[in-house]
Amino acid sequence: MKQKYERPSIKKMNTGFMNKFGTRTDFDPVKEISGVSIKSLIADYGSPVFVLSEKQIRKNYQSAARSFKTRYPKVQFAWSYKTNYLNAVCKIFHQEGSWAEVVSGFEYHKALGNGVAGNQIIFNGPDKKEADLILAIENHSSIHIDHFDELYQIIRICEQIDKKAKVAIRVNFDTGTYPIWDRFGFNYENGQAWTAINKIISAKNLVLTGLHCHIGTFMLSTSAYAVAANKLCELAMRCKVELQNPIQYLDLGGGFPSTNTLKGAYLPGVDTVPSVEEFADAITNTILSFGFTADELPLLILECGRVLIDDAGYLIGSVVANKRLSDGRRATIMDFGINILFTSNWYDHKISVAQEAGQYTEDTVLFGPLCMNVDVVRESITLPLLEPKDNVVVHKVGAYNMTQWMQFINMRPAVVLIDQNAKCHLIRKPETLEYLEMMEQLPDYLK
């Protein structure tokens, strides 16, 4: 077959080692995920398609749980629903022993639907509707209060329905990383958190069981968690000593980074982000050395999201076409865009080719298929030359993409779970026009 003509161009050396730009080059094709071939996934489910590896999800969970449980006697994980609330994903985490951490009414109902007991649902977030609060109180869920108005609302509801609510407060503080996340919860430094605690304890229908924080996301500083844990311990100790209200649990939230590479980072994420073990060290050393007696040590809750799912998710897509831009740059149009790959805003995702490719590589702009100038999956990535219909694999997309995606110009694609025996399961069907129009209503006069 006659080779296609490719205009010669100067390219960076790629030797497989770190080069002077700090990046490593790895153009080996990835032809399968968890024992299933990319080509068969596309043949069976279309392109693009999201793929999740159950084996990797369980491995991530078990490894994170081990990191904490080998360091601290009482540990509980609560799966952060908003990170990926496909029921199949939630069920895997619940099977592993995770509670549910939800931040809205519909997520709360999803957790109930997934069979999570009410007292194993943590209800976070700044906007909990009255009906959902009532349900959470009746179900003995842990309600993490975000602001004073919510505190007063819960006091009023409890009086009205004559029930006690199990509550915690979310606390924010200066952990040494900036900007401070002070929009959620009560501030520690200015005394607001302590005021809230006092109001709760003097309210006869509220039971203060825990203290909560979630200091940020994709946090690269383990010491920030040590600071956070220390401040929560201080509050807990004051609750016991000054208010005779021992705290049952400290919830350190989520925020541990996945091994994705942040945009503009000099070194790849796999080489730079701290491990869960290091976060576990920072948190548990702080609590263990704070001065609680062994039987008074609070339960430690973690609400990890991203770190447990990101590297278990893949997006497989296909090349639509190649073109040259006016400045000579090579551009490749993919069949997936930023509407289903939100995280391409933050990460330089690793992207692999899914078939053998020639030895030539070139810096390429990867466009999505949308009729929108902003639909750039990657400004510049060195890839082997791709042809129309060739496939690529975008790595570590399991967190937030399958919840923040939007239907825009194109439908959202199928999501497939590969189980531990390399069997595929469609866990979310690709959207259709019928699905989309199901919610629409045409006024009679326009019919």
Ligand X SMILES: *Cc1c(COP(=O)(O)O)cnc(C)c1O
Site residues (CB under 6 A) for ligand X? Answer: 80, 82-83, 101, 103, 124, 214, 217, 253-256, 303-306, 399
Cα separation, 164 vs 337, whole angstroms: 48
CA 44 – CA 60 distance, rounded (Å): 27
Instruction: Name residue, tokens 């200091």.
Output: 215
Q: Give the SS3 label for residue 185.
A: coil
CB nearer ligand X, residue 132 or residue 335: 132
| Smallest distance, ligand X to C-beta of residue 59, A | 17
Alpha helix stretches (DSSP H) within 164-213:
192-202
Count of residues in the chain: 447
Q: Which residue's CB is nearer to ligand X, number 25 or number 403?
A: 403
Give the Cα separation of 426 and 415 in Å (integer): 6
Given a contact cutoff of 8 angstroms between Cβ atoms, the answer to whether 425 and 86 are in contact is no
3-class DSSP state for residue 137?
helix
Nearer to ligand X, 257 or 298 (CB): 257
In the complex with ligand X, which residue's Cβ is closer, 228 or 399?
A: 399
Nearer Cβ to ligand X (40/62): 62
Q: Is 99 exposed, middle or buried (0-12, 13-18, 19+ CB in 10 A)?
A: buried
Q: Of 309 and 385, which has the nearer Cβ to ligand X?
A: 309
Decide whether 72 or 400 has the Cβ nearer to ligand X.
400
Tokens 């296609």: give the residue: 4
User: Which whole-number Å values give the CA distances from 58 to 54, 91, 255, in the listed order?
Assistant: 6, 11, 19
Residue 182 contacts residue 232 (beta carbons within 8 Å): no
Nearest approach in angstroms of CB 255 to ligand X is 4
Q: Which is nearer to ligand X, 80 or 205 (CB)?
A: 80
Preceding omega of 443 cis (within 30 degrees of 0)? no
In the complex, minimum distance from the CB of residue 360 to ligand X, in angstroms, rounded to a whole number = 38
Contact of 55 with 92, CB cutoff 8 Å: no
Rounded Cα distance between 115 and 122, Å, is: 14
Which two structure tokens, joined as six digits, stand for 144? 């993490």
Q: Least distance in Å: CB of 20 to ligand X?
A: 32
Can you say whether the dihedral through the CA atoms of 61, 62, 67, 72 is positive or negative? positive
**216 φ, ψ (degrees, to nearest 5):** 160, -175
Contact 300, 72 (CB under 8 A): yes
Which lies closer to ligand X via its Cβ, residue 45 or residue 108? 108
By C-alpha distance, which of 328, 391, 389 is closest to 364? Answer: 328
